[in-house]
């Protein structure tokens, strides 16, 4: 298990200069309503994840990637963004999508890949894309979004706009060439980018120690010439604070920041993964005690921001919203066969027109293709 | 009108479109103050400043990756890859990211950008400065692939590519960067994508080709004419999406097809042309479809002149088709 380093930024477990426990101080810029909102977003994320995993087990959706245990990383950071900032997520930040204003219904349509999914069933579940919320299309190959986020930030800087980009990735992605290239480009151009690494300590079955020999991930920032901040990733207030500070630096023209949010993947990598094959149970139990929702709740109780009635309303409304969204999504058919050919190009070129016409004529004559009921991911 | 080389026409196209559209930004290795190793971006930094034409760190995947992020945001990036042989570190960003962004996001995000890169042999550049990688990219739905063969087309196609709503790989035949001159209009003008050009009209045999091979085929056609064979040359200009109609119309007229390319033959773009003609125009064919291509070897250095199709090899194929 990775020990909590002394330099870990924490709000919920503050230490005095002598290393003793100190009184919790709410970061400047946060208030009761905002803390309650972040709590709600984390609960919604948990409920969405929980239900989606069950839907996958029931064979109602094909695949899922849970973020259980990591809600604070996504929610705390995305809650610090403005409505002009751009988000380049990986596949494990549903909380960020909710925080920037995506609806649970829109996300659940995507899980079903149905005709109301804005991405028209073009990708596996959790590969969201929401233009209105500037939440860029999720890619499966690791790290590719990192350099793209830098490009958007370079454009924001060229355009002199008061906006930044944030990109999310895990500890595994820090080994990818796009991580190196992205941090290098961003630092050279002082691009207003935040690199948010949710260090959940496992890349599928590969533990952190086999991913990097570096003491921390945050320390890598030094070589690129940017601040590296290490934050308690299960402390939503600390993640919010670190992101807000990085955002202020970016807007002030001071360039990018690498934030390492130390957390833990409580669940499997995906619905296809069984972590009991490779991960020690003691590590899981240790981190289950640091649940980000429970920790925030404890603080809210002590600060008079939490009541039983509030809890009931937050949890029940999240469950109700997820249930209603699932119920509706299951009534929506798959996208029409003709949509297979749209959006390849802005204007459909002749060879695709020809293929579309042939397919539709064949469907008319012989009926459509049949779904292979044995097809499941992975086989 | 100004008389320009193909290289000057590319430079002129960049200058004029940057004036016309302030979303256009140009970047890559050594493209700033140095004007690019071939000088295609000469003077752009001076004219438009370092925010619109600038040097990048030496990382192709980064150059294309940041271009994608700019395009998504609403800019019109025109990144340069110094030699097409160096493009492969960016392959993932091109084929899985830029090309797929519109489709995979259901049209939520689009990626209009033009990747300029000099390609092809004939400059004594050996394996790492000579390849013709078009087939890899033509296998990629969502991408457009454009190859000019004249100065006029280079400028017009480049401007059309930059104005296009989809990502374009713009392959510049560096062997003919400075070999010929042509009158090129001042200011912006378009040569439409997806439309081939009849470089030479003829009735006996069709040659389908593109890029630097067009002038090789024109030489072969002259030699064929001296032997009484009338060659038609279709210069594709855009490989993807392909102007099938121009090819099929020509083959219906001549009844014979020779495809000429620099790249190795196996699984190449010429194979696709052959398949399309076999599927859609076999009733017109009076001879087998023939391909003249680079050999299925890596690109050599000392024996470059042996490796690359020349007018003699093209003429031999024309004679074989006509005499079948």
End-to-end CA distance of chain A: 33
Which residues pair with residue A231 across a beta bridge?
A9, A261
Q: Which pLDDT score is estimated for A84? A: 98
**Structure confidence by residue, pLDDT tens digits, B130-152:** 999 999 999 999 999 999 999 99
CA distance A253 to B263: 47
CA distance A229 to B109: 31
Query: If we measure between CA atoms, which residue out of A240, A202, A191 comes closest to residue A79?
Result: A240
Interface of B with A in 251-310 (CB under 8 A): none
Helix axes A177-188, B60-73, angle to 10 degrees: 70
Global pTM value: 0.96
A125 neighbors A61 (Cβ within 8 angstroms): yes
CA distance A39 to A75: 9
Chain B contact for A109, CB < 8 A?
A: no
Distance from the Cα of A152 to chain B's closest Cα (Å) equals 4
Look up the CATH number of domain B197-322.
3.40.50.920
- Which helix H or strand E contains A248, and what residues bound it? helix A236-251
Q: How many CB atoms lie within 10 A of CB B228?
A: 8
The conformation of residue A130, written as its DSSP 8-state character, comes to: B
A340: its two tokens = 């297979």
Mean pLDDT of B55-80: 98
CA distance B32 to B35: 5
Distance from the Cα of B137 to chain A's closest Cα (Å) equals 15
CA distance B160 to B34: 26
> Which pLDDT tens digits describe chain A residue by residue (379 residues)?
333 344 899 999 988 777 777 889 999 999 999 999 999 999 999 999 999 999 999 999 999 999 999 999 999 999 999 999 999 999 999 999 999 999 999 999 999 999 999 999 999 999 999 999 999 999 999 999 999 999 999 999 999 999 999 999 999 999 999 999 999 999 999 999 999 999 999 999 999 999 999 999 999 999 999 999 999 999 999 999 999 999 999 999 999 999 999 999 999 999 999 999 999 999 999 999 999 999 999 999 999 999 999 999 999 999 999 999 999 999 999 999 999 999 999 999 999 999 999 999 999 999 888 888 888 887 5
Q: Which pLDDT score is estimated for A3? A: 37
Contact residues, chain A, for B167 at CB < 8 Å:
none
- CA torsion B234-B238-B240-B246 (nearest 10°) is -30
Gyration radius of chain B's alpha carbons = 19
Mean pLDDT of chain B, nearest integer:
98
Residue A339 burial by Cβ neighbours in a 10 Å radius (0-12, 13-18, 19+): middle
Full strand arrangement of the beta sheet holding A165-170: A86-88, A165-170, A193-199, A257-262, A228-232
- Is the Cα dihedral A50, A51, A54, A60 positive or negative? negative
DSSP per residue, B88-107: GGGHHIIIIIITTHHHHTTT
**Distant-in-sequence, close-in-space partners of B284: CB < 8 Å, separation ≥ 6:** B251, B252, B255
Q: Which pLDDT score is estimated for A4? A: 39
CA distance B219 to A49: 66
Chain B contact for A190, CB < 8 A?
A: no
Q: Which pLDDT score is estimated for B266? A: 98
On whether the B2-184 domain is CATH 3.40.50.970, my answer is yes
Contact residues, chain A, for B75 at CB < 8 Å:
155, 158
CB contact under 8 A, A154 and B96: no
Chain B contact for A141, CB < 8 A?
A: yes
Chain A contact for B32, CB < 8 A?
A: no
Chain A contact for B65, CB < 8 A?
A: yes
Which residue of chain A has the CA closest to B73? Answer: A152
**Structure confidence by residue, pLDDT tens digits, B176-235:** 999 999 999 999 999 999 999 999 999 999 999 999 999 999 999 999 999 999 999 999
Query: If we measure between CA atoms, which residue out of B177, B80, B39, B79 comes closest to residue B121?
Result: B177
Q: Which segments of chain A belong to CATH 3.40.50.970?
A: 32-329
CA distance B280 to B258: 16
Question: Counting runs of H as helices and runs of E as strands, what totals does chain B give?
Answer: 12, 14
B5 neighbors B181 (Cβ within 8 angstroms): yes
- ipTM above 0.90 for this complex: yes
Say how many CA atoms lie within 13 Å of A138 toward its Cβ: 23
Distance from the Cα of B49 to chain A's closest Cα (Å) equals 11
A35 neighbors A237 (Cβ within 8 angstroms): yes
* Triad B152, B154, B159: Cα angle to 5°: 105
Q: Which segments of chain B belong to CATH 3.40.50.970?
A: 2-184
% of chain B at pLDDT higher than 70: 100
Q: Which segments of chain B belong to CATH 3.40.50.920?
A: 197-322
CB contact under 8 A, B66 and A345: no
Give whole-number Cα distances, B142 to A10, A113, A341, B112, B138, in Å: 46, 21, 11, 11, 10
Distance from the Cα of B251 to chain A's closest Cα (Å) equals 18
A93 neighbors A166 (Cβ within 8 angstroms): no
Q: Which pLDDT score is estimated for A164? A: 98
- State residue A87 phi and psi, 5-degree precision: -115, 125
**Structure confidence by residue, pLDDT tens digits, B232-255:** 999 999 999 999 999 999 999 999
Give the E-state strand segments of B73-211 in sequence order.
76-80, 114-119, 144-146, 168-173, 181-184, 197-200, 205-209
Q: Considering CB atoms only, which of A86, A150, A349 is closest to B241?
A: A349
- State residue A37 phi and psi, 5-degree precision: -65, -45
Give whole-number Cα distances, A38 to A33, A50, A297, in Å: 9, 18, 11
**Structure confidence by residue, pLDDT tens digits, B155-174:** 999 999 999 999 999 999 99
Q: Which pLDDT score is estimated for A15? A: 82
Look up the CATH number of domain A32-329.
3.40.50.970
Q: Which of B23, B59, B69 to mutate to test the interface with A (most CBs of A within 10 A)?
A: B69
Chain A contact for B194, CB < 8 A?
A: yes
Q: Considering CB atoms only, which of A136, A150, A178 is closest to B109?
A: A136
CA distance A73 to A314: 20
pLDDT band at B43 (very low <50, low <70, confident <90, very high): very high
Chain B contact for A18, CB < 8 A?
A: no
The conformation of residue A9, written as its DSSP 8-state character, comes to: B
**Distant-in-sequence, close-in-space partners of B9: CB < 8 Å, separation ≥ 6:** B151, B152, B154, B155, B182, B184
Helix axes B6-20, B151-163, angle to 10 degrees: 30
Q: Which pLDDT score is estimated for A233? A: 98
Give the E-state strand segments of B152-215 in sequence order.
168-173, 181-184, 197-200, 205-209
- Is the Cα dihedral A241, A246, A249, A251 positive or negative? negative
Query: If we measure between CA atoms, which residue out of A42, A128, A52 comes closest to residue A318?
Result: A42
- Is the Cα dihedral B104, B106, B111, B115 positive or negative? positive
Q: Which pLDDT score is estimated for A371? A: 86
């Amino acid at each position: 298990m990775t020990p909590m380093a002394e330099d870990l930024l924490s709000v919920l477990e503050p230490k005095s200069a002598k290393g003793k426990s100190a009184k919790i101080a709410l970061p400047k810029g946060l208030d009761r309503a905002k803390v309650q909102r972040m709590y709600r977003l984390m609960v919604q994320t948990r409920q969405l994840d929980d239900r989606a995993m069950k839907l996958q087990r029931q064979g109602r959706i094909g695949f899922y990637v849970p973020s259980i245990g990591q809600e604070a990383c996504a929610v705390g950071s995305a809650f610090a963004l403005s409505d002009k900032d751009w988000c380049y997520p990986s596949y494990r930040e549903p909380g960020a999508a909710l925080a920037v204003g995506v609806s649970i219904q829109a996300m659940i349509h995507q899980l079903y890949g149905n005709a109301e999914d804005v991405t028209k069933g073009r990708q596996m579940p959790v590969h969201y894309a929401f233009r209105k919320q500037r939440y860029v299309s999720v890619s499966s190959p690791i790290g590719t979004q990192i350099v793209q986020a830098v490009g958007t930030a370079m454009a924001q800087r060229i355009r002199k706009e008061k906006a930044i980009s944030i990109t999310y990735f895990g500890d595994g992605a820090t080994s990818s060439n796009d991580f190196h290239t992205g941090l290098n480009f961003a630092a050279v151009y002082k691009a207003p980018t935040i690199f948010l690494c949710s260090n959940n300590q496992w890349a599928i079955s590969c533990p952190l120690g086999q991913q990097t020999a570096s003491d921390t991930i945050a320390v890598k920032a030094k070589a690129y010439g940017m601040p590296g901040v290490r934050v308690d990733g299960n402390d939503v207030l600390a993640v919010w604070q670190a992101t807000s500070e990085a955002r202020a630096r970016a807007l002030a023209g001071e360039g990018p920041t690498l934030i390492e949010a130390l957390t833990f993947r409580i669940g499997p990598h995906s619905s296809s993964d069984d972590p009991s094959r490779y991960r020690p149970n003691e590590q899981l139990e240790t981190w289950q005690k640091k649940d980000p929702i429970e920790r925030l709740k404890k603080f809210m109780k002590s600060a008079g921001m939490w009541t039983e009635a509030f809890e009931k309303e937050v949890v029940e409304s999240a469950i109700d919203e997820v249930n209603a969204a699932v119920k509706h999504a299951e009534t929506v058919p798959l996208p029409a066969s003709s949509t297979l050919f749209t959006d390849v190009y802005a204007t459909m070129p002749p060879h695709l027109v020809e293929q579309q016409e042939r397919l539709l004529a064949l469907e008319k004559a012989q009926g459509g293709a049949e779904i292979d009921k044995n097809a499941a991911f992975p086989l | 009108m100004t008389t320009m080389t193909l290289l000057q026409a590319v430079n002129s196209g960049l200058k004029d479109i940057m004036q016309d559209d302030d979303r256009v930004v140009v970047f890559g290795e050594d493209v700033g103050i140095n004007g690019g190793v071939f000088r295609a971006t000469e003077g752009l930094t001076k004219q438009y400043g370092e925010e619109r034409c600038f040097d990048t760190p030496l990382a192709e995947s980064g150059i294309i990756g940041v271009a994608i992020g700019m395009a998504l945001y609403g800019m019109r990036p025109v990144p340069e890859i110094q030699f097409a042989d160096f493009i492969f570190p960016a392959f993932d960003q091109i084929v899985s990211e830029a090309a797929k962004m519109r489709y995979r996001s259901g049209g939520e995000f689009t990626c209009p950008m033009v990747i300029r890169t000099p390609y092809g042999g004939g400059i004594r550049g050996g394996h790492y400065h000579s390849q013709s990688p078009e087939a890899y990219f033509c296998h990629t739905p969502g991408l457009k692939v454009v190859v000019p063969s004249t100065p006029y087309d280079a400028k017009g196609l480049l401007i059309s590519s930059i104005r296009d709503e989809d990502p374009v790989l713009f392959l510049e035949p560096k062997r003919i960067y400075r070999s010929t001159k042509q009158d090129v209009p001042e200011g912006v003008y378009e040569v439409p994508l997806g439309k081939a050009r009849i470089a030479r009209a003829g009735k006996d045999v069709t040659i389908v080709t593109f890029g630097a091979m067009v002038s090789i085929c024109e030489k072969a056609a002259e030699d064929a004419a001296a032997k009484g064979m009338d060659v038609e040359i279709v210069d594709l200009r855009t490989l993807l999406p392909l102007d099938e109609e121009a090819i099929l119309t020509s083959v219906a007229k001549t009844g014979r097809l020779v495809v000429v390319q620099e790249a190795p033959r196996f699984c190449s773009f010429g194979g696709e042309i052959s398949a399309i003609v076999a599927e859609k125009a076999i009733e017109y064919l009076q001879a087998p479809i023939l391909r003249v291509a680079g050999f299925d070897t890596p690109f050599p250095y000392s024996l470059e002149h042996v490796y690359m199709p020349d007018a003699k090899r093209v003429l031999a194929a024309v004679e074989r088709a006509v005499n079948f």
